Structure formats: C-alpha cells, structure tokens
Amino acid sequence: MALDKGGQAGSKITPMTHQTDIITLPHGRPGTTRRLTIHRFGSCSGPKAYIQAGLHAGELPGMVVARHLLDHLIRLNAEGRIKGQVVLVPMANPIGLDQVLLGGHVGRFDLASGVNFNRSFADLGDTVADALRPGDLGPDADANRRLLQRALAKAAASLQPRTEADALRKLLLSHAVDADYVLDLHCDSEAVMHLYTTPACWPLGVADLAARLDARAVFLADRSGGEPFDEVCSTPWDRLRAHYGRPDTPIPVGCSAVTVELRGEADVDDGLAAADAAALIDHLCWRGIIDAPAPAMPDLSDLATPLAGVDRVRAPVGGIALYHVSLGDRVQAGDHVATVLDPASGERHPCRATSDGLVWSRTQCRYAGPNDILLCIAGRQVLVTSGPLLTA
C-alpha cells in the first residue's frame, strides 16, 4: 500500500459523525481539574475550519454564538451537509472562566502569570522551516499545503508546556494549526463589529465574512506583536512562502485566520448571537465546507485599514471620561471627541482625534487614569512604525 508524504497508508476516509472530546488540562495543582470540550463534525477529508470562543473568558458574546453554531452543526451533520471538517471549541478557556477576584470575573489575563490568554502562543514557522529537506516541496501547491499542514501539526504536538496555561495554548493550537480557516471569536469593551486578519488573508475571502457579519472595520497587520492565536496560525505561511516559495515549489496561503470581534462586552443578546451564527454558517457554505446555498454579498474589498493606522485617543490626565461621539461615527482630525473631567477641581481636558476615520471602540470604564485609552478611530494613515500594535 502506497504511503503519502505524511507517512500514512493511503485508504478510504470514513466520514465522521459528531464527535465530542472532553480533555483534562495537565499541569494543574493537586486536587484541581479543568477540562476543555471540543466538538468535531464532518469528514477528515476536504477543507477544515476551526472555530473557538471565549479565549478571553470574560468575553461572553462569542460563547453564546458558539452555542447557536453547535445547534446548526448538529443539524447539518445529521443532514450530511458538512463536506469538510468543522472543529468547534465553545468555551476555549476553562482557566479564565474559573478566575473570580473580589467578586469580579478576570478572564483576559492569567492570574498566575499576568500574561494575556491571547498572547504567547508558539510560532511554529521556524520549526517547520528548519525541518524541511530538499525535495519535500514540489510543483503542486495543494500538495505542498497538505505537507506543511501536517508538519505544523507535528510541531504543535511536540511542544512541551510546563504550566496549565501553556498546556491550554498547546491544546488549542494543536487543533487549529492545520486548519484551512480559523475563526477566533472575541469582543471589545464597547465596539462595532470588526475583524483582524493579515494582508495575505484579506483578499482570499475575508471580505465575504465581513459583509455577512456587517462588520464596520477590518484591521490588517503582518504581525501585530505578542503572538496572538490567529497570527500563529496564519503568519508561519507567510515566512515559509518567503523562504521556500518559488515557481517550481509554490506555497499558498495555507491558513486564513481571522479574529472576529463581536461588538462589545455588554452585547450579550440571544437575537444578535443567532444572527451572527447564521452569518458564520453562511460563510462556511460559501467556503464549500457546508453543502448549502449562501446568499451573495456585496464587495467590501475597500473596508480594510492598517492596524498601524488606529488612532487610540488617550486621556491626558486622570478623571471621568465624557464622550462626544458614538460608536460608528465618522470623525476628522482635530475633532473634539471626548473630555476628561477632574471631579475635584472641575477642570475639563479636551481629547481630539488625530486622524480621519470611524469610531469603532470605546472603553466602558468611564473613570480614566492618565494615558488610558478612551476610544479608537480606524484611520488609513499609518501612525505606528515600531513596537506592538495590540493593546494589553
């Protein structure tokens, strides 16, 4: 029996039923246990989509959307309509879900280390590049994609975490890094619907996703800093293509990864979640992973702006933030967008936009410290030329 380049015997692949894995996280403290639930649908052949929600465990809208997605996928699987593979992780962070401090839920940062749960994922591009041998890649771009997906999955499986949080990162990455499409569901403090992806991923169908979700902004960056989940799934392909991609060894964009920001933290609404889940299902239909018609969407190819062009309007002093613009408003450079009121002295300090663009997020907490970010504007002019592009 012939072996493929992954070393597996060629055989007919049996379609999967709905499989649910409940995995205990290692490296926990004695007497404690945390588990991660992973749902798999469809066939091991064909394109693979990976969707997770709640990596920042305090961001609840995505987990409601994931519940609706699960119901859709159970029905579609029973109808035999899932032609590829869909992996769904509805609650991606059992550590963060368990973190309550003085009555407040702390789901963004690991209290044990202080590290953001959506940072410090392993970037496996160099590991795979170092393991490539002459002759591994050939003239077939799709064959190269499959070979590199297997190599990325092998590299993820070889990671040796020492903490529970890093064990969680390995587990999530191991299920996503060989996917063709990755959707990481988040939300902001107060925000309109928006997306993050890379310049290489954007032209390959992300505009369809943005249109179906009625996104108001899309932010592009080759590398935003800190190794967030979506980028460690997609950016290794950029480097592999830069180093090894030639006319005789073509390397495609092997993973289209997108962070989907489902508005703000307070937008926990069953109706919104149902509509968002339906939009995501339609996008998977459009991608060919689900065998069902999807309505045509308008071309939003001009929606994207550079992440380095975000104008983060900051408080000049501490005080109470008073907003003069709403989410979705368009502003111009110099506009008075907020005021910081010192409640002790009564002094008012104006805050002005430095670029033209759309107000896409505001901070829920109106009590600001000096230099705190109050609101963000999606501009087209690059403002940041070095350093990380994401906030903590």
Measure the CA–CA gap between 173 and 154, rounded to whole angstroms. 11
Burial class (CB in 10 A: 0-12, 13-18, 19+), 101: exposed
Measure the CA–CA gap between 233 and 184, rounded to whole angstroms. 11
Q: What letter represents residue 160's amino acid? A: Q
Domain boundary among 268, 302, 336: 302
Record the tokens describing residue 32, joined without a space.
């404690």
In this structure, the number of other CB atoms found within 10 A of the CB of residue 193 comes to: 23
* Domain presence at residue 93: yes
Contact 224, 231 (CB under 8 A): yes
In this structure, the number of other CB atoms found within 10 A of the CB of residue 100 comes to: 11
Element of type H or E holding 273: helix 270-287
Domain boundary among 302, 337, 361: 302
Do 100 and 242 have their domain in common? yes
**Contacts (Cβ under 8 Å, ≥6 apart) of 89:** 36, 37, 38, 39, 50, 51, 52, 53, 66, 172, 175
Do 190 and 333 have their domain in common? no
Do 284 and 317 have their domain in common? no
The DSSP secondary-structure symbol of 385 reads -
Do 71 and 200 have their domain in common? yes
CA nearest to 258, candidates 220, 286, 285, 290: 220
* Domain presence at residue 1: no
Cα separation values, 78 from 45, 75, 293, 361, Å: 18, 5, 17, 40
Do 146 and 45 have their domain in common? yes
* Domain presence at residue 11: no
Do 192 and 321 have their domain in common? no
Do 117 and 217 have their domain in common? yes
* Domain presence at residue 3: no
Q: What is the CATH number of the domain that holds 325?
A: 2.40.50.100
Contact 303, 218 (CB under 8 A): yes
Residue that is written with structure tokens 């049996």 in the block: 14
Do 230 and 366 have their domain in common? no
pLDDT of residue 214: 98
CA-based Rg of the chain, rounded to a whole angstrom? 22
Domain boundary among 277, 302, 327: 302
pLDDT of residue 233: 98
pLDDT of residue 9: 36
Q: What is the CATH number of the domain that holds 208?
A: 3.40.630.10
* Domain presence at residue 356: yes
pLDDT of residue 6: 38
Record the tokens describing residue 79, joined without a space.
């109808």
Specify the number of domains making up the chain.
2
* Domain presence at residue 13: no
Contact 265, 339 (CB under 8 A): no
Do 120 and 195 have their domain in common? yes
Do 219 and 366 have their domain in common? no
Contact 371, 314 (CB under 8 A): yes
199: left (phi over 0), alpha (psi -120 to 50) or beta: alpha
Do 233 and 172 have their domain in common? yes
pLDDT in tens, the chain (392 residues): 232 333 333 344 445 689 999 999 999 999 999 999 999 999 888 899 999 999 999 999 999 999 999 999 999 999 999 999 999 999 999 999 999 999 999 999 999 999 999 999 999 999 999 999 989 999 999 999 999 999 999 999 999 999 999 999 999 999 999 999 999 999 999 999 999 999 999 999 999 999 999 999 999 999 999 999 999 999 999 999 999 999 999 999 999 999 999 999 999 999 999 999 999 999 999 999 999 999 999 999 899 999 999 999 999 999 999 999 999 999 999 999 999 999 999 999 999 999 999 999 999 999 999 999 999 999 999 999 999 999 98
Measure the CA–CA gap between 300 and 211, rounded to whole angstroms. 7
Measure the CA–CA gap between 113 and 127, rounded to whole angstroms. 26
pLDDT of residue 16: 63
* Domain presence at residue 9: no
* Domain presence at residue 198: yes
Residue that is written with structure tokens 């404690």 in the block: 32
Measure the CA–CA gap between 93 and 170, rounded to whole angstroms. 12
- Which structural domain range is residue 160 located in? 19-302
pLDDT of residue 134: 87
Do 134 and 193 have their domain in common? yes
Q: What letter represents residue 25's amino acid? A: L
